[in-house]
Amino acid sequence: QDAEIVRTRDPQRLAGCDVVVDVGGEYDPGRHRYDHHQRSFAESMRSLRPDKPWSTKLSSAGLVYCHFGAQILAGLLGQPEDGPVVTALYDKLYENFVEEIDAMDNGIAPAAGEPRYALSTTLSTRVGHLNPRWNDPDQDTEVG
């Protein structure tokens, strides 16, 4: 609740952070490092949680969800983390929301071959609309 959010790629600043997400080139949940940008990174929900069926390569969002999603849902719902309600919601949220983020962030197409239609309302597209246009005089990306 009182966390300070720092946006940086500076290794010295990252070293002092309690949690690092999507930067830093390191996946180490023991040290709360959740980056997926290493060439050797190939983790999926199934590889980290063998009881889950999804094999899409995880993004940093998926890593955070994998490690903390059930705990957060349990807290919000006042239900046990391993109970049927939290388990069902965790699975549905991953399958119908987070997996798309993982796939889009890792450049995984929704289907093999030529797509039949354009996906123009993905979460990535919506976030992209918050960024300044190339010719905007104010290029501050933090505003959006």
pLDDT of residue 90: 98
Look at residue 141 in the predicted model and tell me its pLDDT.
80
Predicted local distance difference test score (pLDDT) of residue 66? 98
Mean pLDDT split into 10-residue runs, the chain, 144 residues: 91 96 96 96 97 97 98 98 98 95 90 80 83 87 79
Pairing of strands 20-21, 27-28: unpaired
Residues in the chain: 144
Q: What is the pTM of this model?
A: 0.84
Q: What is the pLDDT of residue 8?
A: 93
Q: Kindly state the tokens that stand for 33.
A: 């490092």
Q: What is the pLDDT of residue 142?
A: 79
- The per-residue pLDDT for 30 is 97
Domain boundaries, the chain: 44-120
pLDDT at res. 140: 86
